[in-house]
């Protein structure tokens, strides 16, 4: 007969909480694995009643969605945690935030509903701060990229070199000058497989025009969510009924 784990089974899941958090400052250089481990320790330290999987090696039931690449800051990272005992989402937010290091900041928690969290996210809005880049050169590069039907770039992955179509993923892009020595690019990118990352967008811009970026750019993810027809993103933590009410209000205005 197959072996069975000793002891009683883990308590059942009674609730799920969806969490939005920020990755700021020097902690943007943490890998996703490091962040996941830090949150697991934070959940234990905060004594959140996390549900565990069954079997010989139980794991906390935490589901991650679309982690930002290492080196990128973010104001919109998400995961869902299953609870073995009821707990108010705001209490989860406050106690988990207090148990984490500064730079991993829990911004908002809500009770999970349908559809699943991954089905609520299909695009990201990024802001790329580019010290030393000329706004005039960036304007030309963005216009050239948006004028293309397709533009692929190569990227090294753990499975070898992959080609990604940056133009297909880019919904819109707008550039502006922060000051005389720094350009800013705001861009909305669809989630594709493989994912188009901020450095892929910069590679594409450099391929279509002369664009000098003497200092490493500073990417920050501002939003994730479901792409609306107008190019904005729906907050994945807002219930669908509230999003529908927003659309009705726009039609009636």
What are phi and psi for residue 53, nearest 5 degrees? -75, 165
What is the reported pTM?
Answer: 0.90
Question: What whole-number distance in Å separates Cα of residue 194 and Cα of residue 196?
Answer: 7
For residue 42, the model assigns a pLDDT of 98
Mean pLDDT, range 11-17, rounded to an integer: 94
Q: Euclidean distance between the first and final Cα of the chain, in Å?
A: 68
% the chain with pLDDT above 90 = 78
Is the model more confident about 179 or about 232?
232
34 confidence band (pLDDT: 50, 70, 90): very high
Is the model more confident about 171 or about 248?
171
Is the model more confident about 251 or about 164?
164
Report the candidate in 185, 196, 204 with the shortest Cα–Cα distance to residue 139: 185
Give the CA angle between residues 83, 32, 112 to the nearest 5°. Answer: 30
Contact 196, 169 (CB under 8 A): yes
For residue 243, the model assigns a pLDDT of 59
135-164 b/e with 16+ CB inside 10 Å = b? bebbbbbbebbeeeeebebeeeeeeeeeeb
Domains and CATH numbers, the chain: 15-118 (3.30.70.580), 121-234 (3.30.70)
pLDDT beyond 90 at 95: yes
E-strand ranges in 29-97 read 62-65, 73-83
């Amino acid at each position: 007969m197959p072996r069975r784990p000793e002891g009683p089974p883990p308590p059942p899941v009674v609730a799920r909480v969806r969490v939005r958090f920020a990755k700021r400052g020097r902690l943007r250089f943490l890998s996703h694995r490091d962040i996941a481990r830090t949150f697991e320790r934070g959940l234990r330290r905060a004594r959140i009643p996390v549900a565990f999987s069954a079997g010989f090696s139980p794991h906390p039931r935490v589901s991650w969605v679309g982690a930002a690449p290492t080196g990128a800051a973010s104001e919109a990272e998400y995961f869902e945690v299953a609870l073995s005992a009821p707990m108010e989402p705001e209490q989860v937010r406050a106690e988990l935030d207090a148990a984490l290091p500064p730079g991993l900041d829990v911004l908002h928690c809500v009770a999970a509903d349908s559809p699943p969290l991954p089905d609520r996210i299909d695009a990201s809005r990024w802001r790329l701060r580019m010290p030393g880049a000329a706004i005039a050169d960036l304007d030309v590069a963005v216009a050239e990229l948006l004028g293309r039907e397709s533009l692929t770039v190569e990227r090294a992955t753990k499975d070898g070199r992959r080609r990604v179509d940056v133009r297909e993923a880019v919904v819109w892009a707008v550039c502006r000058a922060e000051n005389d020595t720094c350009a800013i690019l705001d861009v909305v990118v669809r989630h594709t497989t493989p994912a188009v990352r901020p450095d892929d967008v910069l590679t594409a811009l450099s391929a279509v025009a002369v664009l000098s970026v003497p200092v490493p750019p500073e990417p920050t993810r501002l939003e994730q969510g479901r792409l609306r027809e107008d190019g904005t993103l729906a907050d994945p933590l807002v219930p669908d009924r509230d999003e529908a009410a927003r659309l009705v209000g726009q039609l009636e205005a």
